[in-house]
Amino acid sequence: MKKLLVTGGAGFIGGNFIHYILQHYPHYKIYNLDALTYAGDLTKHRHIEYNPQYTFIQANIINYEMILSLFHQYKFDYVIHFAAESHVDRSIKDPSIFVKTNVVGTHNLLEATRQVGLSKFIHVSTDEVYGQLDFDPTTFFTEDTPLQPNSPYSASKAASDLLVRAYSETYGLPVNITRCSNNYGPYQYPEKLIPLTIKKVLKGEKVPIYGDGKNIRDWLHVYDHCKAIDLIMHKGTVGDVYNIGGHNELTNLEVAQKIIHALGKSQQLITFVPDRLGHDKRYAIDPTKLESLGWKPTYSFNEGIVQTINWYMQDDWLQQMSYEF
């Protein structure tokens, strides 16, 4: 029986990944390690909490002694490392926790892996480590694009990426690094654009859009992200980086407009607010390398956003999530 340690499994992507693995690999044993910070939520796992293949461990990856003891106790086959502080606005306000969690925490997991050993360490990162692209639709981030992070968040992720690479090159750890574009889908904490917009539109509140709303992101449904990590975990070449993108470039304004239209509300709900400091212009992923392994996205954005809106309307999870920043 394969044992998977999923860090950050009470979060958005990690939580969806746990559901995905239990559905597709019912013989795998999942260990969900999460510190349950503000965005961590276990209600998404109520339907699996008594599943014998699932175990929750409340722990913080900053605590090396705890992490090392867990590695010795459970002898994990795989680590899928999602745990991270991930909200750019919060990193601008207080970068220190991003360094502690994203850099020190990743180092602790790598060091425990070096001490105990495992089959593969998957480090889940972001396209934001590459910096930004101009508004030229023919340019994309590839795995060979230099790292040029522009926010404290993306700098902390770039630093953790380089640590993972160093542990692979120096100690021979079997690793993969994945860098995804902007995710959306069920169970996303409402500090991010799509769930925040859905929540505000449903309540008839103004929808804030930074600057002129023309910043472009490449949107990836979380299910397609989970599919990609599954494929990389089982078939990815050890030591390689894989970009994961959904072929869905849209401006932030277009995203908000599509959600408002789908919910049958007035576009007058949109309000423009002062731009974020250091707001990257455009992200766009070239996933050719991943596609060569056989991956392709299930959802176009138009399909995925309808599925996501319907999920949020049918489930009361979003309304239970309070967001203050």
Report if residue 94 sits inside a domain: yes
Return d(Cα 197, Cα 209) in angstroms, integer.
Answer: 9
Angle of helix 252-262 versus helix 301-314 axis, rounded to 10: 50
The total number of structural domains that make up the chain: 1
Report if residue 325 sits inside a domain: no
Report if residue 257 sits inside a domain: no
Examine the residue annotation and report whether 224 is marked as an active-site residue of this protein: no
Cα–chain-centroid distance for residue 264?
A: 29
Report if residue 307 sits inside a domain: no
Report if residue 315 sits inside a domain: no
- Could you say which of 85, 127, 191, 280 is catalytic? 127
Report if residue 211 sits inside a domain: no
Report if residue 210 sits inside a domain: no
- Could you say which of 54, 78, 130, 153 is catalytic? 153
pLDDT category at 86 given cuts 50, 70, 90 is: confident
Return d(Cα 17, Cα 226) in angstroms, integer.
Answer: 5
Q: Is the pLDDT of residue 280 over 80?
A: yes
- Could you say which of 41, 128, 161, 218 is catalytic? 128
Q: Is the pLDDT of residue 319 over 80?
A: no
Examine the residue annotation and report whether 324 is marked as an active-site residue of this protein: no
Q: Is the pLDDT of residue 317 over 90?
A: no
DSSP label at residue 13 = H
Asked whether the beta carbons of 137 and 218 are under 8 A apart, the reply is: no
Average pLDDT over residues 217-241: 98
pLDDT score recorded for residue 190: 84
Q: Is the pLDDT of residue 97 over 60?
A: yes
The pLDDT tens digits for 7-42 are 999 999 999 999 999 999 999 999 999 999 877 889
Query: Nearest-CA neighbor of 149 among 124, 129, 177, 126?
Result: 129
Examine the residue annotation and report whether 153 is marked as an active-site residue of this protein: yes
Please tell me the number of Cα atoms within 13 Å of 102 on its side-chain side: 26
By residue range, what is the domain housing residue 82?
A: 3-189+220-247+282-298
Return d(Cα 170, Cα 172) in angstroms, integer.
Answer: 6
CATH number at 74 reads 3.40.50.720
DSSP label at residue 133 = B
Residue with tokens 């939520």, as numbered in its chain:
41
Average pLDDT over residues 87-107: 93
Report if residue 109 sits inside a domain: yes
Residue with tokens 């397609």, as numbered in its chain:
224
Return d(Cα 101, Cα 68) in angstroms, integer.
Answer: 16
Start-to-end C-alpha separation, the chain: 42
Q: Is the pLDDT of residue 233 over 50?
A: yes
